[in-house]
Amino acid sequence: PPLVWDAAMWDVWLKNGLVLLVIACPCALVISTPITYVCALTRAARFGVLCKGGQHLESLANLKAIALDKTGTLTEGRFVLSDVIPL
């Protein structure tokens, strides 16, 4: 590939290389899905977010709003009476 002479051709040759990889070895796409989940769970754990699995990561795609309290705890949207202090 003429990558040394024409820098504008990088995207074309990169696309051609990826197309060749998918055609030659479609199992690369099958292997990439679990690796993506593991990478996402690891990245989230580094920031202190613990997820039970990949299905919870996929549910984030439908998320429209998120609420955090002042400690940074996620809320569920169901209010519960936690304490009663008599006067």
List residues with catalytic annotation. 69
Question: 27: part of which helix (H) or strand (E)?
Answer: helix 27-46
Task: Provide DSSP, 45-81.
Answer: HHTT---S-HHHHHHGGG-----B-TT--B--S----
Q: Are 1 and 9 in contact (CB under 8 A)?
A: yes
